[in-house]
Amino acid sequence: MSASRIKYTTQQFPIINQVLDVANNKVILTTDQLHYLYNGAIVKIFSENGEEIFDTSVTVSGNTSFTIEKIPTRNRYIFYHVLGYLPGQTGSKSPEALQRGMATPAIIQSYVTGTGGASYNIEVSLDNSHWINAASFTHTSNTGDTGFVTVTPGWTYYRANVVSIGANTTLTLMSGN
């Protein structure tokens, strides 16, 4: 499997307002929902034309706002991506398609970044409506703890059902596609 065929679980959120803090060389960004971010979490910022501008760490300033270092750009920030899931984001997640026609098991790898562990189940489905628990995994340590589960051939979809994520931790899943 080539590296170009790896698919990471990402989440996209809108930025509804940005305020430049010239005195501190920062930008205060506001979302339209609870963001689940923690101080030091890494986000990818995108401009209004959908262009990826940069990756940066955040400082949380409220339930729907956070601060980033100001990066010289004339573009308005329109949304941000988070790689993986954040503390508080438990439960079933969006389904992902598995590669069809493979006679070998699919591999779903995960790792944590931060100071806490995480636990999740992998659920599979043929029709994206009826889900079966196929595997469970627990990360017990911090940054660098990695592992994988396998899914038998023939399943069309998988999704993570996140049981827990420790404070200041990001759980990232990736699969071959």
Task: Give the pLDDT confidence of 105-142 residue by residue, as tens digits.
Answer: 888 999 999 888 999 999 999 999 999 999 999 998 77
Mean model confidence pLDDT for the chain: 87
For residue 140, the model assigns a pLDDT of 87
Q: Are 118 and 162 in contact (CB under 8 A)?
A: yes
Task: Give the pLDDT confidence of 6-18 residue by residue, as tens digits.
Answer: 788 889 999 999 9
Domain 10-83 matches domain 87-176 at the CATH topology level: no
Which CATH architecture is the domain 87-176 placed in?
Sandwich (2.60)
Q: Which two tokens stand for residue 102?
A: 């493979």
For residue 73, the model assigns a pLDDT of 67
For residue 102, the model assigns a pLDDT of 58
User: The pTM is what?
Assistant: 0.83
Q: Which amino acid is at 80?
A: Y
For residue 99, the model assigns a pLDDT of 64
Phi-psi region of 168 (alpha: psi -120 to 50; beta: other; left: phi over 0): left
User: Strands 59-62 and 26-30: what pairing?
Assistant: unpaired
For residue 132, the model assigns a pLDDT of 94
Tally of CB atoms within 10 A around 85: 24
Tally of CB atoms within 10 A around 155: 19
10-83: CATH topology: Elongation Factor Tu (Ef-tu); domain 3 (2.40.30)
The low-confidence residues of the chain, meaning pLDDT below 50, are 1-4
For residue 52, the model assigns a pLDDT of 82
Residue spans per domain, the chain: 10-83, 87-176
In sequence order, what are the residues at sequence separation of 6 or more whose Cβ sits closer than 8 angstroms to the Cβ of residue 129?
A: none
For residue 66, the model assigns a pLDDT of 96
